[in-house]
Amino acid sequence: MFVIRFDREPVEGFLQAPGGFTATAVELLTPAGSLFQLPYEDVKAVCFIRDFEGRDTWREHRTFASRPKTAGLWVRLVFRDGDTAEGIAAGNLLLIEPNGIYMIPPDPTFQNQRIFVPRAALREVQVLGVIGNRPRRPARRPAEDESSQLTMF
């Protein structure tokens, strides 16, 4: 995972689940074996990535090109520094974290699988849409034969 910070370089490392997010900080173990506690005030986003090789983890364009198909809340996050990002947050209110928001980023082929954004990093959260499964329509009744219809005149 990569931790994107506001004023410093990103930090890569491993997060111990479930204890990596404490009440005040993100606890991160670097590949070199150092343990860091990064306060939520310094953290912009925690990016859960596929691997440490190659591509960048924080792009300039972090919006959906069209309406998303994945069920959940389509949200736009506005960070303290004015930067924005879109994603799909869980529609289940029981999954809301007290310290921040988990979301799925717009591009599934990109390095990031999931992103955690601390509440301290945000200025505003906008819900752009509620994406869900369509309710099932009742089965159509077959058309009745015209001969069974009563004549009016």
Query: What pLDDT does 75 receive?
Result: 93
Query: What pLDDT does 134 receive?
Result: 66
Query: What pLDDT does 39 receive?
Result: 93
Query: What pLDDT does 19 receive?
Result: 75
Query: What pLDDT does 116 receive?
Result: 92
Q: Mind spelling out the 3-state secondary structure of the chain?
A: CEEEECCCCCEECEECCCCCECCCEEEEECCCCCEEEEECCCEEEEEEECCCCCCCCCCCCCCCCCCCCCCEEEEEEEECCCCEEEEEECCCHHHCCCCEEEEECCCCCCCEEEEEEEHHHEEEEEEEEEECCCCCCCCCCCCCCHHHCCCCC
Query: What pLDDT does 54 receive?
Result: 57
Query: What pLDDT does 119 receive?
Result: 94
pLDDT tens string 1-17:
888 899 888 888 998 76
Can you list the residues of the chain whose pLDDT is less than 50? none
Query: What pLDDT does 112 receive?
Result: 80
Q: Record the pTM.
A: 0.79
